[in-house]
Amino acid sequence: MAIHIKESHKGLFHKDVGKKAGSPITEKDIERGEHSESAAVRKRAVFAENARHWHHKKGGVVHPHNEHSNY
């Protein structure tokens, strides 16, 4: 199962924390985003933190999808 992110939303958190596209987001960046005055930036920071735990090409946990699962 894949997450679809709108093209217009891709890279927004990088921009919010002042990083170039493709550079890694650090724990410090996420922490800074979570304490932002902007609700949108806080939401993006939480998403970035959660995304760290998902399966990625370079490794991570894979949860098999079958017809009886809820995800």
pLDDT tens digit sequence for 53-66: 887 666 555 555 55
Is the Cβ–Cβ distance between 19 and 29 less than 8 Å? yes
Is the Cβ–Cβ distance between 24 and 17 less than 8 Å? no
Q: pLDDT digit string (tens) for 22-51?
A: 899 999 999 999 999 999 999 999 999 998
Domain boundaries along the sequence of the chain: 11-51
For the whole model, what pTM was predicted? 0.71
Whether the per-residue pLDDT at 17 is higher than 50: the answer is yes
Is the Cβ–Cβ distance between 62 and 34 less than 8 Å? no
